[in-house]
Amino acid sequence: MKTNQFRAMMLAMMLVITTLGTVWAQPLIVKGTVTDGSDGSPLVGCAVTVKGTSRGAITNLQGRYSIEAKKGETLVFSYIGFEKAERVVRSEKINVSLKVSSSEILEECVVVGYGTQRKMTVTGAVSTVDLASLRQPAVYMDAVNTEEYQSIHENGFKQVGEFPLSTFSIDVDAASYSNMRRFINSGTLPVADAVRTEELVNYFSYDYAKPTGTDPVKITMEAGVCPWNTAHRLVRIGLKAKEIPTDNLPESNLVFLIDVSGSMWGPTRLDLVKSSLKLLVNNLRDKDRVAIVVYAGNASVKLESTPGSDKQKIRDAIDELTSGGSTAGGAGIQLAYKVAKQNFLPKGNNRIILCSDGDFNVGVSSVEGLEQLIERERKSGVFLSVLGYGMGNYKDNKGQALAEKGNGNHAYIDNLQEANRVLVGEFGATLHTVAKDVKLQVEFNPAQVQAYRLVGYESRLLKDEDFNNDAKDAGELGAGHTVTAFYEVIPVGVKNDYVGKVDDLKYQKKQKETVKPTGSNELLTVKLRYKAPDKDVSKKMELPFVDNKGNNVSSDFRFASAVAMFGQLLRNSDFKGDASYDKVIELAKQGLNNDDKGYRREFVRLVETAKGITPKD
């Protein structure tokens, strides 16, 4: 009897120990607040890591964090200028108060917005340290801000007599908008070169007429009073690509090209990449295929091409990704193209989706070198889309250049909602091209227009002769995409203060210009060229436009012009005229009727925030 009782007791104890061990090993979502021990104020941007792992989080503006950890693991709290703290996980809530370091020499730089701020050097008492400067709301965790943007030389007005034609490539990218949003939400205004006005406008979809004929695109035009200079006219040119139901889209051969270098560590980088791609995986069809290529110090294939029906296998491969090492982006791109070509679908969508902060530093790494690499590879029929991540070291100029040369699009992912918009909500537009090398050429009627300027598109300008040159690369149009371009027009007879005069030449006489009116009352004519995705010869479309000189414009026109005005304010444009944040808000509110997903109302809130953080004169 005693033996049986002893056995029962031992069995019960083993069950208790096993149960306790299981509970102890279960992962928890640990949450808490990190504060300054001297005054109790929240610490923004404090790094919270699980000791001995690559898991980490960063505190938000309220000093709060959330991280997955198991009971018994140790959380490490690190913040420049404060002593590190460690806490063993025993519950789901851990609040930490950090002590100011009295001996550490503070020579690091932190980034506030786009610039840098140097901390004071401390060798003794900490009373000389400006603690407020250590907790700016826009502090990023990079030691030095190394973000890079292509310099933008804003388009000016051109005299129609000298420049009757305006030629440019379309731009469906929206990276500049979400990047701008990231700046404003962190409490700073974006640097001017980070603002591409056309990308702000094209972030939004507009209710343009759909194509009905054989062409995959339709042109729409509208004109009204220019809201920032009422003596001028504002002309809106809109393009609408044909829509294709998701089930009818061709099968996809996708290669996820993922930067797993050390610079991609953190919740807004690799962690966000993984969450973003899993959204896309969830929406793959059985006939689609995905391969995964990763690169850090070198490049390798993480997952061979796998059918969309095996979603769990793809998700597992994504979950296993960790960051560390240098960045051999060129090698990664070459390997991704190789994998895409090995699985090429002659009648399908063959595309690489590059996820990176653009911080290439091994092998081919310059913008020019990467462009040449992409130009060679794009002839294979494989398209390249670029998703940008990260802050503080984000290389926007490289992402933009790669997407332009790779016949793809460029988006900046600042949060999971944006990833859902790009990869799920706009699945067809992002991944399926219906027209490539799309160019626009506008001819202005000198009898109606004395001068004009294209608002934005500075990086997409083409020579007039490029319009008819099928060897010249241009932008791509995805299924269901809309594209908008604005021209600010100075009508004939209106005072022109924007185009200066040149002295008469000394050694030759300029021939007097003679304009022979054709009798046309047209303001302009738009010509468009495009190629089918699998063709090398373009097709031309042409549409004239007569301005009724009124202001009975659509709500879409009002909203889009408000966004264009906002872009010029952020850039402090020489041509912003009477623009103001209040005018932007008022005009945008007149265009909120087509806002099922709330993006337009979010824009109004961003403008209100930008107004609040703009320095007052």
Q: Torsion angle of alpha carbons 450, 456, 459, 464, nearest 10°?
A: -30
63 occurs within a structural domain: yes
389 occurs within a structural domain: yes
Amino acid in the structure at residue 210: K
CATH code of 234's domain: 2.60.40.1230
> Both 412 and 281 in a single domain?
yes
> Both 349 and 480 in a single domain?
no
C-alpha triplet 258, 260, 261: angle, nearest 5°: 135
> Both 374 and 391 in a single domain?
yes
CATH code of 362's domain: 3.40.50.410
> Both 254 and 383 in a single domain?
yes
Three-state secondary-structure class, residue 334: helix
536 occurs within a structural domain: yes
> Both 230 and 250 in a single domain?
no
- Cα–Cα distance list, 332 to 271, 350, 365 (Å): 19, 17, 11
Which residue, of 431, 446, 473, is where some domain finishes?
431
Helix (H) or strand (E) run with residue 240 in it: strand 233-241
Q: What is the pTM of this model?
A: 0.75
pLDDT for 117 equals 33
> Both 544 and 481 in a single domain?
yes
348 occurs within a structural domain: yes
573 occurs within a structural domain: yes
578 occurs within a structural domain: yes
pLDDT confidence of 90, banded at 50, 70, 90? Answer: very high
> Within 13 Å, how many C-alpha atoms sit on residue 533's CB side?
21
- Cα–Cα distance list, 156 to 190, 534, 576 (Å): 22, 36, 11
pLDDT for 108 equals 35
100: left (phi over 0), alpha (psi -120 to 50) or beta: beta
10 occurs within a structural domain: no
481 occurs within a structural domain: yes
> Both 540 and 594 in a single domain?
yes
Asked if pLDDT for residue 25 goes beyond 50, the answer is yes
Across the chain, mean pLDDT equals 84
Report d(CA 294, CA 329) in Å as an integer. Answer: 9
Which residue, of 108, 140, 172, is where some domain finishes?
140
326 or 489, higher pLDDT: 489
Report d(CA 185, CA 609) in Å as an integer. Answer: 8
> Both 227 and 316 in a single domain?
no
pLDDT for 11 equals 60
CATH code of 37's domain: 2.60.40.1120
> Both 400 and 276 in a single domain?
yes
> Both 280 and 322 in a single domain?
yes
Residues 6+ apart with CB under 8 A from 573: 154, 567, 579
> Both 213 and 281 in a single domain?
no
Tens digits of residue pLDDT in 520-575: 899 999 999 999 988 889 999 999 999 999 999 999 999 999 999 999 999 999 99
> Both 485 and 605 in a single domain?
yes
Domain tally for the chain? 3
Instruction: Supply the range of the domain harboring residue 274.
Output: 246-431
